[in-house]
Amino acid sequence: MNTQKYIQITFIFFLLLCSSCSDYLTPYLGDQMTMEEVFSKRISTERYLTQVYSFLPSDYDALNSTTPRSDEAYFSWTAWVGYLGHNNGSWNPTTDNYQTWTRYYQAINQATVFMDNVDKCNEITLENRAVMKAEARFLRAYFYFMLVEQYGPVYIWGDKASDMSVKSEEIDRHPLAKCIEFISTQLDEAAKVLPVHIQDPAWYGRATKGAALATKARLLLYAARPLFNGCDLYKGMKNHFGEYLFPQSPDPAKWELAAKAARDVIDLNAYKLYENTTETDPLQKGIKSYMGVYFEKWNDELIFAKWEGDGAFWNVRSAPPMILKDGYGGFAPSLKLVDTYPMAESGRFPITSYQSNGTPVIDQQSGYSEDGFVNSYVHPVDGSVIKAHKSCVGRDARFYASILFNGMNWINTFGGTKLVTFYTGGTSSYNNSTGDFVKVGYLFRRMSDPRNDTENGKWGSFSWPYIRLAEVYLNYAEACNEMSTRDEANALTYLNKVRNRSGLKNIEVAYPEVKGNKTLLRELLQKERMVEMAFENLRYYDIRTWMIADKESNGPRYGRNLLATNYEDSWERTDQICLPLVFQPKHYLFPIHQSQLNEMRNITQNYGWE
Amino acid sequence: MKNMPKLLGDIYCRLSNLLFIMKLTMLAFFLGLMSLSASTYSQRTKISLDLKTVSISEVLKSIESQSEFVFIYENDAIKLDKTVSIIANESSVDQILSKILRDTGINYEIVDKQIIITRNSELKDLPVLNSKLNAESQQPQRKKISGFVRDEKGQSLPGVTVTVMGTSGGVITDNNGSYQIEVKPGDKLIFSFIGMTSQTIHYTNQPTIDVSLREESQELNDVVVVAYGKQRKESVIGAITSVSVPDLRMPVGKLSTSLAGQLAGIVAVQRSGEPGAGADFWIRGVSTFGENNRPLVLVDGIERSLDLVDVEDIETFSILKDATATAVYGVRGANGVVLVTTRKGKSGKVLINAKAEMGMLAPTRMPKMADAKEFMDLYNDVYKEKNNGRLFYTDDVMQKYLNGTDPDLYPNVNWLNEIYKKTTTSKRLNTSVSGGGDIVKFYVSGSVYRENGIFNAIESNQYNPSLNWTKYNFRSNVDINLHKNTVVNINLSNQYDVKNKPDTDELWQYSFLTVPIAIPMVYSDGTIARPPIGENPYNLLNNSGYVQIFNNNAQSLIGLTQDFSDLITPGLKANVKFSWDAINSATISRYKSPSTYYATGRDATGKLVFKKNNDGNDYMTLWKGNSGERTTYLEASVSYDHVFNNKHRIGGLFLFNQRERTNNFPASYIYSLPYRTMGIAARGTYSYKDTYFTEGNFGYNGSENFSPGKQYGFFPSVAVGYLVSNEKFFQSLTHVISLLKLKGSYGLIGNDQIGGGRRFAFNPEMQEYGSYTFGEMGQTGISGIATGYPGNSNVSWEKAKKFNAGIELGLYNKLTIQADYFHELRDGIFIERLSVPSVVGINVNPYVNLGRMENRGIDASLEYTEKIGDLNLSARANFTYNRNKKLYDDKPTPIMDYQNEIGKPLYQQYGLIALGYFESEEDIANSPVQQYGVVRPGDRKYRDINGDMVVNDYDKVAIGRTHVPEINYGAGLSLELHGFDLSFFFQGVGNVTTFMDGSPINGFENANLFLSGVYEDVALHRWTEENPDPNAKYPRMSIYTNENNKQLSTAKQINNRFLRLKNAEFGYTLPKKVVSKIGFSLVRFYAQGVNLFTISDFKLWDPELNNSQGSVYPNMSVVNIGVNVNL
């Protein structure tokens, strides 16, 4: 072999060495989705905003809502459900159930990312971009609000994007005043831009000016209530910067702010209470009006609502077991809620208090009785004739719209008339088991439209309200009653608007003594609110912010004696079936979860959870 | 090529043997490539000399010491005492010899590596030379003896030099490996051959001396395979361990399963004995808690799966452990490297080797479950205490189950006995043909291995759910000398394997869980049985369809080596290699789920009343899956090795490589992008007088995993060594301490397989997330987009800082001890940043290079060889200990400091400390409250660690060890006498624990009487009220899950240490005289066993399994017989 060939080989060798191109290791990632691309197109920008919406809670999913943890409900299941530990007081900072901290901070971050980027999208008009940004701003405020109602003061990023390099040991909660101030300012800012009405029906469910203002009304109402307004319990709490986390003394002026915020919603004149226009009988009209709030989609009372396409989740769980093809019989009201519905005739609340053994102290003027039965009672909703316990006779429209009681017929007759009895051996018999058996003697049927053919799998759908006008009226009435410059007239006016819709007479007619009596009106407002807003996830925070949870949500719970093997005896009150509620002062606010304490070593834990 | 006619004759006379016709066809092809070119060794080998006034014989000795040349001459006949002086610098032996032998009347002839010195006109054929030399010998006591020389396989070795110690005379064995030589009593005969260990035999009047030479474990004498090359053994200062390949030859399906205990530094565990299952192994234990803690495996320099190599094809097997040995692999080398080279053909006779083996396999341990009686007694016992003493299975019911009168309604099935066979079989056939001439050398092999499973399935030709695995291997390694300085090598290999099995992964689970009295295997009328809850194991096995998994691998490598010694400078070589591999895998599943029934009773006519469990179907449905990938690799290198002035040995290597792997069935766009690495590596070595050694290595390479501009890393290492026994002052000691070497290394290596479940960790991603519905009728349902993984532009490889210090000690030339201490700090382990506070609100945590871990330990090995009379004895042992420690993992600090994983080994187990059983209610009242449910006497009592008078999760502490053993050792002994050979190899592990758990251990966790199978041991050795034994093995049983007793605790921890006879082999090689008559050069019969017995504390199942219930395919014992023949 000659030298020439060596050189050739050598040449080939170095050719190979040099053949590698310098960007051999740089992958072409061009076709993947990037932030720039997402915010360059209308569709994907809308999808991003949708994602921010997706963090809104599904109140419709009652198991994960506040309802089963409040005194208004007694859900049947006694295993595999998160509310048990919360109700028996055994929960602690490591309990994961109902912790929302991580989720809502993710939501907040996503809202901020959206706000920081939406203006890059030229496919969307300037005005629409402004509206979308305001929606994100509203949502972000709403998420913060939900953190505050659960945890009290929280960490506030303000308008700046969250920073991954933040030193976790430096993070602590900001004072409550700053939280409320920030949220309320943000809601104001959003309200300036958001439209009053969504014009395009295809986009119903998006946030409006009213949604922002009504959220602010609820926020400022809570801020004025005792828990967040200088209560002793949380007074001394400081963050590690030395700032007091809670107001150090009550500030009555906060009620004025709350009243104004509610008034702003009312003054929009964009909403009105839903009322049935076809019925003439006051009770019938009241029932249909109240039912319509949930059954008439997107009615004028709704301020902010969410579409729930499949009603089965809710309706199956509020349907009685055994007599229906699908009935899990779990969503049940507490006996206390049932007791609270006013009497139609007198307009008065039947029970003023309970003795220590659970015996109700009955307001004799109310016309309520627990003794005996009416043998051929005509149920006002379906007209069927039943043997009704006296406690179920003569109640207000909302009672009949809401309560499925022992001894009545199932609300729809697509499968024929079906008597529902809950006693042991009844058609929907009680059973001491963890499973699908009614424990308290009632089911909550308010969200179940009798027009749904549930026997054939038609479960309907919902425009499920987050906020509706009746609440704003009650917020306004409450604030007016509490203001230092008490506005009793408006308090009564707006309370009565709510009562009248259900066919009840004015409160000052039913209770003439309420005039000039701030305390009595407060008490009546609280009862009215419990009834009107039942199962709408307000009661849990109401009794906390009013600081009455230690009385209302503590001790044995009573139900009807379903251990009885006959109908009549099953109407006795008993605490032998229902599990008691445990409430300790620390339960006014959620604990910061242990994993948050681990990651942010200096964050201040709530009172009683340290 | 003087041997050619004879060789062809050999071939033709064997053509009649049909068995080998196919092999010979291939052979003929390769023979066609052969040429008769002259030897090239003498031209390639360069010798430097600087000798003044020395005798010729000293010059010859000096040449011998520098090269592989052997001089053959008769001392008395040739005067080699003439004084000469010579200075030669890189001259060929021809040049030197012609210079010094000029005018001496002495001639020489170079025959490959042998140089025959004769007086003028005495040049002749070798056998003649011998006889002439002998004839001229005048010493009367001299005697002519003869013998055979063969290799350890019994193949005759031509060309072996046989010399008498102290003389320069010698002979060379002929084509049949036979020789004749004259000796006198007291002479020592030295048998030496390239690539073989020389042997010295004392002549004591025996008429014949037959010798078998052992192959050096390395290709060449005293050469060690190192990264991208070879080094002389004495120059090696990195931590490298090799294993003698015959030690790896065990009757198992995959190579990885025979590694445990074989090499110092290997940690290997076999977690399943299923046919086709391999073993997990690490080098020096687990050094990272990142994604990839497995060593890099290189087969012929190409990254390939170890288990694809047929052990018969392996030439060398070594592991590289420390920084200096692995630094050149840069980002790929942090977890150590396994280097395997496959066999090459050798010049000389064509060798046909065939091996046939048959094996019988049986589980090392098969668990034993409670039988029907034990089960019913147990259940009655736990039932009656809840039911006022009432029994669940009354006597008459129990009798019905036990006497078998109505097996439909009262079945009694021992599921483990019915579903699994006691033994199964395997067989192997392996053939290879190798040989070659000066132009072409070849090694061609093929093998078939078949292993059957222990599933007791009903087979038919149409439907076969039995478990078996068949593997075919083919390899062809060919080296072609294009020119005396240019070699092309082509290695082609193909592996093809098929596994057949029933279409279920639940067989083990349900055969353990299903109680003996749940259901019959099948109802007597043929109805398919299944309990209302759970499965019928018989049904799973025979009626769920079957799966065939097919794998095909094609591996190809072409290399070109150019020696530039002549052209540029001596010792300079260049190499280019390119490989292209493809893997294909196809899974064809034909499955069905027929209707199943449960008999609830009998009707009036006595017919069984069935409840249908499910509406099934009897037809088969197809499911198929494919996977595959292809890899190309290019490597180009130049290397240099040269000695200056006999003192300064300088070596160097510079190398470039790039690799591309492409997934043929990517799951998404990102995964369709090729996986690439590219880099350069370099090595420089220097030694002075072969006593002081230094070495520097570096790798500079990168991977596409990292952000542009940050893809490359520099990984340097340095090492020093001191061969004390080569010092002059040490020479007086060398008869005792024949070798003493000290060495140390330090360096940085990387690991680019960082994981985190994403391809390009630097790249921020968006993700589909959430949805929301708008619209008056919900008509606007939109799925959301969110930010995803945030991207980390600083993402980088893991860095390993490795330190190694070692000693090599040889005693009396018989005992060699090697010991190394190692310490490694792994930095930048890629971990999820869990410490980003939740208020930041990122929805996918970033990954960062923050994790840190430490690993340290020792590994040591010992080898001993001895010859006592005709008995050859060799022994070996090795030991590996390592302990790792997590230093940082970015997890929040737990409340209880002792639960912090930092500072503890990776995989550290945690649990409660069991204090026996509660003796009485009083005992319970006086003990801390145990928050795992109400306790009763007989329940486990635990220690309250933090003293809060409550036992809960805060009292769980580090207990026991990890499931990866910290101590690994092996020891073996081989004996060889008169054709018999016997060897044992023991393997053991220590510092290893696991937990037992689950319903078969805890009892009645499934709250039904179908899936409540329990271990017999548990049923018989538990605490009962009748026998409240404080030392009972198991606590009180409960009718439902007993949360308290179920807690992981010291009482449920298994000490998995064991010592087992991993391999034993007994063989007999027929005498050469016998086999040569029937045309063979070797016939050896042997019997071999694997896992013949195991000594362990834990008895319920094989201690090497890592399963809390032992309900996996057990490890297997194998007994094998085989025959090995050479033609």
Alpha carbon distance B853, B916 (integer Å): 36
Q: Is the dihedral of CA B66, B72, B76, B81 positive or negative?
A: negative
Q: Where does the pLDDT of residue A276 fall: very low under 50, low under 70, confident under 90, or very high at 90 and above?
A: very high
Q: Is the Cβ pair B775, A205 closer than 8 Å? A: yes
Interface test with chain B among A7, A19, A28, A54, by most B beta carbons within 10 Å: A54
Q: Which residues pair with B500 in a beta bridge?
A: B468, B548
DSSP string covering A480-533, please? HHHSSS--HHHHHHHHHHHHHHTTPPPHHHH-GGGTT-HHHHHHHHHHHHHHHT
Q: What is the 3-state secondary structure (H, E, C) of A87-146?
A: HCCCCCCCCCCCCCHHHHHHHHHHHHHHHHHHHHCCCCCHHHHHHHHHHHHHHHHHHHHH
Q: Which of B704, B784, B785 lies at the smallest CB-CB distance from A25?
A: B704
Residue B410 pLDDT greater than 80, yes or no: yes
Alpha carbon distance A51, A29 (integer Å): 25
Which of 710-729 (B) contact A at CB < 8 A? 711
Between these two residues, B146 and A215, which has the higher pLDDT value? A215
Q: Are strands B337-342 and B296-299 parallel, antiparallel or unpaired?
A: parallel
Residue B430 pLDDT greater than 50, yes or no: yes
Mean pLDDT to the nearest integer, A169-196: 96
Interface test with chain A among B569, B840, B848, by most A beta carbons within 10 Å: B840
Residues of B in contact with A53 (CB under 8 A): 770, 772, 784
pLDDT the model gives residue B10: 43
Q: Is the Cβ pair A51, B483 closer than 8 Å? A: no
Measured between CB atoms, does A609 come within 8 Å of chain B? no
pLDDT in tens, B1007-1027: 788 999 999 999 999 999 889
Residues of A in contact with B562 (CB under 8 A): 6, 9-10, 13
Residue B150 pLDDT greater than 90, yes or no: no
Asked if residues B1054 and B994 have their Cβ atoms less than 8 Å apart, the reply is yes
Q: Which of A16, A23, A204 lies at the smallest CB-CB distance from B636?
A: A16
Residue B180 pLDDT greater than 90, yes or no: no
CA-based nearest residue in chain A for residue B654 = A17
Measured between CB atoms, does B896 come within 8 Å of chain A? no
Q: Where does the pLDDT of residue B123 fall: very low under 50, low under 70, confident under 90, or very high at 90 and above?
A: very low
Which of 582-601 (B) contact A at CB < 8 A? none
- Counting residues of chain B whose pLDDT is more than 90, the rounded percentage is 54
Measured between CB atoms, does B1009 come within 8 Å of chain A? no
pLDDT the model gives residue B70: 76
Mean pLDDT to the nearest integer, B171-196: 79
Alpha carbon distance B563, B482 (integer Å): 12
Fill in the DSSP letter of residue A228. G
Which of A408-422, A542-556, B212-226, B870-884 has the weakest average pLDDT?
B212-226
Q: Where does the pLDDT of residue B22 fall: very low under 50, low under 70, confident under 90, or very high at 90 and above?
A: very low
Segment holding B541, helix H or strand E: helix B537-543
Residue A15 pLDDT greater than 60, yes or no: no
Measured between CB atoms, does A416 come within 8 Å of chain B? no
Measured between CB atoms, does A102 come within 8 Å of chain B? yes
pLDDT the model gives residue A5: 64
pLDDT the model gives residue A2: 57
Fill in the DSSP letter of residue B791. -
Which of 428-487 (A) contact B at CB < 8 A? 461
Asked if residues B716 and B696 have their Cβ atoms less than 8 Å apart, the reply is yes
Asked if residues B219 and B246 have their Cβ atoms less than 8 Å apart, the reply is no
pLDDT the model gives residue B77: 60
Which of 173-212 (A) contact B at CB < 8 A? 201-206
Q: Is the Cβ pair A17, B774 closer than 8 Å? A: no
Residues of A in contact with B835 (CB under 8 A): 168, 599
Which of 622-651 (B) contact A at CB < 8 A? 634, 636
Measured between CB atoms, does B787 come within 8 Å of chain A? yes
- Counting residues of chain B whose pLDDT is more than 70, the rounded percentage is 92
Residues of A in contact with B894 (CB under 8 A): 598
pLDDT in tens, B815-837: 999 999 999 999 999 888 877 88
pLDDT the model gives residue B2: 39
Alpha carbon distance A410, A324 (integer Å): 9
pLDDT in tens, A298-336: 999 999 999 999 899 999 999 999 888 788 999 999 999
pLDDT the model gives residue B976: 92
Residue B8 pLDDT greater than 60, yes or no: no
Which of A449, A382, A461, A458 has the alpha carbon at shortest distance from A420? A382
Which of B179-188, B260-269, B362-371 has the weakest average pLDDT?
B179-188
Residues of B in contact with A306 (CB under 8 A): 772-773
Asked if residues B400 and B410 have their Cβ atoms less than 8 Å apart, the reply is yes
Asked if residues B795 and B830 have their Cβ atoms less than 8 Å apart, the reply is yes
Q: Which of B560, B841, B894 lies at the smallest CB-CB distance from A162?
A: B841
Which of B420, B427, B429, B424 has the alpha carbon at shortest distance from B452? B424
Q: Where does the pLDDT of residue B860 fall: very low under 50, low under 70, confident under 90, or very high at 90 and above?
A: very high
CA-based nearest residue in chain B for residue A28 = B673
Interface test with chain B among A32, A50, A604, by most B beta carbons within 10 Å: A50
- Counting residues of chain A whose pLDDT is more than 70, the rounded percentage is 96
Q: How far is B479 from chain A (nearest CA, A)?
A: 18
Query: Buried b vs exposed e over B654-677: b needs ≥16 C-beta within 10 Å?
Result: bbbbbbbbbeeeeeeebeebbbbb
Alpha carbon distance B381, B392 (integer Å): 9
Q: Angle at CA A474, nearest 5°, toward A468 and A477? A: 145
Residue A599 pLDDT greater than 90, yes or no: no
Q: How far is B716 from chain A (nearest CA, A)?
A: 22
Q: Is the Cβ pair B678, A24 closer than 8 Å? A: yes
Q: Is the Cβ pair A110, B841 closer than 8 Å? A: yes
Q: Where does the pLDDT of residue B910 fall: very low under 50, low under 70, confident under 90, or very high at 90 and above?
A: very high
Q: Is the Cβ pair A202, B704 closer than 8 Å? A: no
Question: Chain centroid to CA A210: how far?
Answer: 18
Asked if residues B993 and B909 have their Cβ atoms less than 8 Å apart, the reply is yes
pLDDT the model gives residue A9: 61
> Tokens 């087969």 belong to which residue?
B299
Residue B221 pLDDT greater than 60, yes or no: no
CA-based nearest residue in chain B for residue A162 = B840
Q: Which of A12, A308, A599 lies at the smallest CB-CB distance from B838?
A: A599
Q: How far is A348 from chain B (nearest CA, A)?
A: 38
Fill in the DSSP letter of residue B92. E
Q: Is the Cβ pair A600, B839 closer than 8 Å? A: yes
Q: Angle at CA B8, nearest 5°, toward B7 and B12? A: 120
Kindly give, in sequence order, each residue whose CB lies less than 8 Å from that of residue B90, ignoring residues fewer than 6 positions away.
B46, B47, B48, B570
Q: Where does the pLDDT of residue B388 fall: very low under 50, low under 70, confident under 90, or very high at 90 and above?
A: confident
Task: Outline where DSSP puts E strands in A339-456.
Answer: 351-354, 360-362, 373-378, 385-389, 403-405, 442-444
Q: What is the 3-state secondary structure (H, E, C) of B152-204?
A: CCCCECCCCEEEECCCCCEEECCCCCEEEEEECCCCEEEEECCCECCEEEECC
Q: Which of B485, B764, B780 lies at the smallest CB-CB distance from A203?
A: B780
Which of 743-762 (B) contact A at CB < 8 A? 760
Mean pLDDT to the nearest integer, B309-337: 91
Residues of A in contact with B765 (CB under 8 A): 32-33
Q: How far is B331 from chain A (nearest CA, A)?
A: 14
Mean pLDDT to the nearest integer, A102-127: 95
Q: Is B402 exposed, middle or buried (0-12, 13-18, 19+ CB in 10 A)?
A: middle
Q: Are strands B114-119 and B70-72 parallel, antiparallel or unpaired?
A: parallel
> Tokens 């060897």 belong to which residue?
B983
pLDDT in tens, B240-254: 998 888 888 888 888
B841: left (phi over 0), alpha (psi -120 to 50) or beta: left
CA-based nearest residue in chain B for residue A49 = B784
Measured between CB atoms, does B925 come within 8 Å of chain A? no
Q: Is the Cβ pair A202, B893 closer than 8 Å? A: no
Residue A1 pLDDT greater than 60, yes or no: no
Residues of A in contact with B771 (CB under 8 A): 50-51, 54
Alpha carbon distance B97, B71 (integer Å): 11
Q: Which of B567, B670, B786 lies at the smallest CB-CB distance from A6?
A: B567
Which of B352-361, B857-866, B887-896 has the weakest average pLDDT?
B887-896
Q: Are strands B1058-1069 and B1082-1090 parallel, antiparallel or unpaired?
A: antiparallel
Segment holding A86, helix H or strand E: helix A83-87
pLDDT the model gives residue B120: 63
pLDDT in tens, B735-787: 899 899 999 999 999 888 877 667 888 888 899 999 999 999 999 999 999 99
pLDDT the model gives residue B132: 38
Q: Is the Cβ pair A50, B778 closer than 8 Å? A: no
Measured between CB atoms, does B770 come within 8 Å of chain A? yes
Between these two residues, B115 and A525, which has the higher pLDDT value? A525
pLDDT the model gives residue B37: 33
Size of interface A-B (CB pairs under 8 A): 190
- Does the pTM of the predicted model rise above 0.90? no
Q: Angle at CA A559, nearest 5°, toward A558 and A565? A: 135
Considering chain B, what is the average pLDDT of its residues? 86
pLDDT in tens, B58-108: 888 888 777 777 777 766 666 777 777 787 777 778 778 877 877 777 777
pLDDT the model gives residue B1064: 94
Q: Is the Cβ pair B576, A164 closer than 8 Å? A: no
Kindly give, in sequence order, each residue whose CB lies less than 8 Å from that of residue B61, ignoring residues fewer than 6 positions away.
none
Mean pLDDT to the nearest integer, B841-858: 90
pLDDT the model gives residue A8: 58
Mean pLDDT to the nearest integer, B943-959: 92
Q: Which of A50, A298, A594 lies at the smallest CB-CB distance from B772?
A: A50
Q: Is the Cβ pair B567, A25 closer than 8 Å? A: no
Q: How far is B933 from chain A (nearest CA, A)?
A: 14
Q: Where does the pLDDT of residue B926 fall: very low under 50, low under 70, confident under 90, or very high at 90 and above?
A: very high
Kindly give, in sequence order, each residue whose CB lies less than 8 Å from that of residue B303, ignoring residues fewer than 6 positions away.
B296, B297, B332, B631, B633, B659
Alpha carbon distance A168, A105 (integer Å): 14
